[in-house]
Amino acid sequence: MKIKNIAVTGASGKIGHNIIPELLKAGYSIRALEHEEPVRAENVEIMKGDLSDETLPERFVADMDAVIHLANVKENRETFMNVNVRGTFGLLDACRNCGHIQQYIQAGSDARAGIYYYPHPYPIDENYPHSAYPGYYAFSKVLEETMCEQFIIQSKLPITTLRFSWVYAEDDVLAHATLKKPDFGVPVWEELVVKPEQKEFFEKGLDGVAKLVHPDGRPGLRHVVSIHDVVESVMLAVENKSALFQAFNVAGPSPFSYDKLAGYISEKLDIPIVEFEYDVFHDFHIDLNKSRSILGYNPKYNIFDIIDEAVEFRRSGNKRTFLKYPG
Ligand SMILES: NC(=O)c1ccc[n+]([C@@H]2O[C@H](COP(=O)([O-])OP(=O)(O)OC[C@H]3O[C@@H](n4cnc5c(N)ncnc54)[C@H](O)[C@@H]3O)[C@@H](O)[C@H]2O)c1
């Protein structure tokens, strides 16, 4: 495999924006697909286009050696079929038809396994069956992956799927865990209010940090990943022959429990801990044995590192990047 030119969709997005500088540093030439949000990168070829335009994929992959497909829409009933499903199909089909794509990297998601929505009797490994949680986003991640699997079977298209866990960048972890806006991800704490002492925080605009608990009082267990480890996983997969025709989990070094998360943030920000019971939440743990042994993936950022970075981000006066879908 000799890869020089890589076409990247979703180049302006959370993951794409962080990956492009590393790909450039490694010497690759990049063609970036730009749709609505500008691509904030220098020294890349920009191609403007919409994935739901069926004429785009052929032009986009022309003269390329590899594709990294990151573009998608999240919980959007109107567009997910055209952008996520037909768009991914168009790219896969163009890669097969042109005959010169040596590697196609698909952004998968742990949403394909339902994460906290279903009970998981064992850590979620790559063989865990697709079981999307309700909605359009997870549904489309399953459909995208199913198409990839069939393109491997039918055409031996050299596909690598990286199944990212929930990616934390900037101050995402604080946006998620603290009670003040912005809200980020699920659950939205205000929607779980049942006790007057919880309500008071929102009525008076006070800050606190949420500790998610099960109905029996045990803290919830969740597995997420830092953007730095995500970037590392992509760099390990690109041009890696042993990564072809397979899917890999990409998560942080270990899951976190909400009591540890809340305790650490409470100390760092000097805000109280507030318990929220969430009865639909099931603990989950992503198994990394396959990505560790085949990709050499070795995630470094645990939840405390992620919190430290988020606190630093806020202290330096940085502003969060606007996200269309806060999750
Ligand atoms: N962020 C996460 O927590 C996370 C977790 C697991 C998997 N993923 C997957 O990783 C990939 C990238 O995620 P992200 O968080 O960087 O996404 P993002 O929402 O930040 O960015 C989405 C990108 O898709 C582009 N896009 C949207 N509609 C388009 C269209 N019609 N045509 C062309 N481009 C279009 C946008 O311009 C943007 O660049 C996605 O496939 C997502 O499912 C993300």
Determine the pLDDT at residue 303: 98
C-alpha of 80 from chain center: 16
State if residue 85 touches ligand 1 by the CB under 6 angstroms criterion.
no
Number of domains in the chain: 2
Alpha carbon of 176 to ligand 1 centroid (Å):
19
Asked if the structure places residue 178 within a domain, the reply is: yes
Ligand 1 atom closest to residue 37's alpha carbon, by position in its atom list? 37
Alpha carbon of 111 to ligand 1 centroid (Å):
14
Peptide bond into 182 cis (omega under 30): yes
- The alpha helices in the chain, defined as continuous H runs, are 14-25, 56-61, 80, 87-98, 137-155, 172-177, 196-204, 227-237, 258-269, 289-290, 303-315
State if residue 233 touches ligand 1 by the CB under 6 angstroms criterion.
no
Alpha carbon of 40 to ligand 1 centroid (Å):
15
State if residue 109 touches ligand 1 by the CB under 6 angstroms criterion.
yes
Question: 146 and 277 in one domain?
Answer: no
Asked if the structure places residue 244 within a domain, the reply is: yes
Asked if the structure places residue 294 within a domain, the reply is: no
Question: 156 and 260 in one domain?
Answer: no
Mark residue 27 as left, alpha or beta (left: phi above 0; alpha: psi -120 to 50; beta: remaining): left
Q: Which portions of the chain are predicted below pLDDT 50?
A: none
Question: 111 and 233 in one domain?
Answer: yes
Question: 88 and 159 in one domain?
Answer: yes
State if residue 68 touches ligand 1 by the CB under 6 angstroms criterion.
no
Question: 307 and 160 in one domain?
Answer: no
Determine the pLDDT at residue 185: 94
Question: 121 and 28 in one domain?
Answer: yes
Question: 130 and 83 in one domain?
Answer: yes
Asked if the structure places residue 293 within a domain, the reply is: no
Contacts of 293 (CB under 8 A, 6+ apart): none
Question: 259 and 152 in one domain?
Answer: no
pTM for this predicted structure: 0.98
Q: Which of 323, 310, 283 is nearest to 177 (CA)?
A: 310
Q: Which of 91, 51, 49 is nearest to 73 (CA)?
A: 51
Q: What CATH number did the domain enclosing 266 receive? A: 3.90.25
Asked if the structure places residue 289 within a domain, the reply is: no
Question: 243 and 178 in one domain?
Answer: no
Question: 133 and 204 in one domain?
Answer: no
- Domain containing residue 155: 5-167+224-250
Asked if the structure places residue 26 within a domain, the reply is: yes
Q: What CATH number did the domain enclosing 39 receive? A: 3.40.50.720
How far apart CA 230 and CA 244 sit, in angstroms, is 18
Alpha carbon of 245 to ligand 1 centroid (Å):
22
State if residue 8 touches ligand 1 by the CB under 6 angstroms criterion.
no
Asked if the structure places residue 291 within a domain, the reply is: no
Phi, psi at residue 100, to the nearest 5°?
-115, 10
State if residue 148 touches ligand 1 by the CB under 6 angstroms criterion.
no
Asked if the structure places residue 116 within a domain, the reply is: yes
Helix (H) and strand (E) counts in the chain: 11, 13
How far apart CA 142 and CA 84 sit, in angstroms, is 10
Question: 266 and 125 in one domain?
Answer: no
Question: 177 and 159 in one domain?
Answer: no
